[in-house]
Structure 1
Amino acid sequence: MATVILVRHGRTTANASGMLAGRQAGVRLDEEGVRQARAAAERLADVPLAAVVSSPLERCEQTARLLLERQAEAPALETDERLTECDYGDWQGRKIADLAKEDLWRTVQQHPSAAVFPAGESLAAMSARAVAAVRERDAAVEAVSGPQAVWAAVSHGDVIKAILADALGTHLDQFQRIVADPASVSMVRFAAGRPFVLGVNTHAGDLAWLAAGPATEAPAQDAVVGGGAGPATVAGART
């Protein structure tokens, strides 16, 4: 039962200007986005990452490389097309304020499983590929590095929300209830019986405890009734 850390890219020039960047080239972190990504990297500095896998878009690769800079033994950066941004089609490059006036906006908000972007992708298709990518990668990391392994996937807001919805057992129509801010960190531990969601949209706090692995009061695939004692303290971790 490896653990995946889901990191959204830091703030970009498009985020700051209220534009839906989509898959446009040349969208990079702004100054605040770099600061945010470095803060996330600092939180993960004491978590030895077995793998770091990124969306191929520049803003995610930038964020991933900043994460790797703080790793004592950094793995090679990998990319996975299935973690890329949703293909927003004709919506790409337009102002969010203008898109909010479109009829499709209401579907995206209230019934996202039925939303198909004009000349683009459906949110259901985006969810399916992203969830498959994370689950397959997680199994591969565990096979190589063991059940205590922790790895990071750097992706985009809607992609991360879809992965979290799946882990929570929540229908895609409810995924707009989940928030994934720029450079936020969410954590999921996959087990044979079910995923365990360890954190959603976190912005602060040392994460060295993730390296301790799950509590041992119950079988690894089971939830501890009453909540349990939590993870063990990691020797040498910062406090």
Structure 2
Amino acid sequence: MATVILVRHGRTTANATGLLAGRAPGVSLDQIGREQAALTGDRLSAVPVVGVVSSPLDRCLETARFILDRQPGSPYAPVEEDLTECDYGQWQGRALTELAKEPMWPVVQSQPSAVVFPGGESMAAMQARSVAAVRRHDAAFEAEHGPDAVWVAVSHGDVIKSILADALGMHLDLFQRLSVGPASVSIVNYGTARPSVHATNTEAGDLSWLAKGLRSGDAPVGGGAGRTTT
């Protein structure tokens, strides 16, 4: 199968001030976020990607542009509504320090599968639609470009954590054990037998080994010989 590089957007003005931005319009990358996105774009410049699929929110579109501007050619760059941020409903726009006092906060931390944000979306629904979107695009890119195809999905922290949890076979209630920092890179290959996770939450390092794609197959007993960059 094709390989997806999951990229969280860079830091935003809301991140920097401790606000839960949710789907609020006009939330952009701050200067640090632009620098983070540029670094991620530089890292991915060594990988000719066939597509950069983005959440429709500004902060993801900005991050996607840093990636696209550093790619040779013109990768397919659609917007995918199902990669958008969780609908936090009445929690949107509020300070995290204030939300931490809400009765539902401990449930978000320990049993997210049971959470339905007031006036918003359940975390289970967020995971279902985002995983379905990634798998749908992954199959389409492989059908068009072959099993060595590599593509990028630019999305949000909780969304990417839920996609990684699914790929790792983790229950959604365990997804808070994962960290996904601003402009971080995680890598998943959806094999015929199972997904394989090749990286999570990386913020630096060479990615040129991805230029040849990843072939799925049986897991090497003992871990195998690893990858090379040549």
Same topology, TM > 0.5 = yes
Distance 1:62 1:35 in 2: 12
What SS does the corresponding residue of 1:49 show, helix, strand or coil?
Answer: coil
> TM-score, normalization: structure 2?
0.98
Distance 1:211 1:175 in 2: 29
Task: Give 1:29 deviation, angstroms.
Answer: 0.2
Distance 2:170 2:128 in 1: 14
Distance 2:21 2:63 in 1: 16
> TM-score, normalization: structure 1?
0.94
- Correspondence 1:117 to 2:113: no
What SS does the corresponding residue of 1:103 show, helix, strand or coil?
Answer: coil
- Correspondence 1:229 to 2:228: no
Task: Kindly provide the CA deviation profile for residues 162-197 of structure 1, in whole angstroms up to 9, marking residues without a partner as x.
Answer: 000000000000000000000000000110100010
Cα pair 2:3 2:214 within 8 Å, conserved: no
- Correspondence 1:149 to 2:145: no
Of 167-176 and 72-81, the range deviating more from structure 2? 72-81
What SS does the corresponding residue of 2:224 show, helix, strand or coil?
Answer: coil
Partner of 1:60: 60
What SS does the corresponding residue of 1:42 show, helix, strand or coil?
Answer: helix
Partner of 1:94: 94
Task: Kindly provide the CA deviation profile for residues 147-167 of structure 1, in whole angstroms up to 9, marking residues without a partner as x.
Answer: 001000000000000000000
Cα pair 2:8 2:160 within 8 Å, conserved: yes
Task: Give 1:132 deviation, angstroms.
Answer: 0.3
Kindly provide the amino acid, as one letter, of the partner of residue 82 in structure 1: D
Cα pair 1:168 1:197 within 8 Å, conserved: yes
Cα pair 1:7 1:186 within 8 Å, conserved: yes
Partner of 2:32: 32
Kindly provide the amino acid, as one letter, of the partner of residue 49 in structure 1: V
Aligned length: 230
Pairs within 5 Å for 1:48-87: 48-87=48-87
Distance 1:225 1:54 in 2: 36
Cα pair 2:10 2:34 within 8 Å, conserved: yes
Cα pair 1:212 1:233 within 8 Å, conserved: no
Task: Give 1:104 deviation, angstroms.
Answer: 0.6
Task: Give 1:226 deviation, angstroms.
Answer: 1.3
Distance 1:186 1:9 in 2: 12
What SS does the corresponding residue of 1:40 show, helix, strand or coil?
Answer: helix
What SS does the corresponding residue of 1:160 show, helix, strand or coil?
Answer: helix
What SS does the corresponding residue of 1:214 show, helix, strand or coil?
Answer: coil
Cα pair 2:2 2:214 within 8 Å, conserved: no
What SS does the corresponding residue of 2:78 show, helix, strand or coil?
Answer: strand
Kindly provide the amino acid, as one letter, of the partner of residue 20 in structure 1: L
Cα pair 1:110 1:173 within 8 Å, conserved: yes
Partner of 2:201: 201
Kindly provide the amino acid, as one letter, of the partner of residue 38 in structure 1: A
In the TM superposition, structure 1's runs of 4+ consecutive aligned residues that sit over 4 Å from their partners are: none
CA RMSD of aligned residues (A): 0.9
Give percent identity, aligned residues only.
Answer: 63
Q: Which runs of 5+ in 2 are unaligned?
A: none
Kindly provide the amino acid, as one letter, of the partner of residue 44 in structure 1: L
Distance 2:104 2:217 in 1: 40
Distance 1:77 1:136 in 2: 15
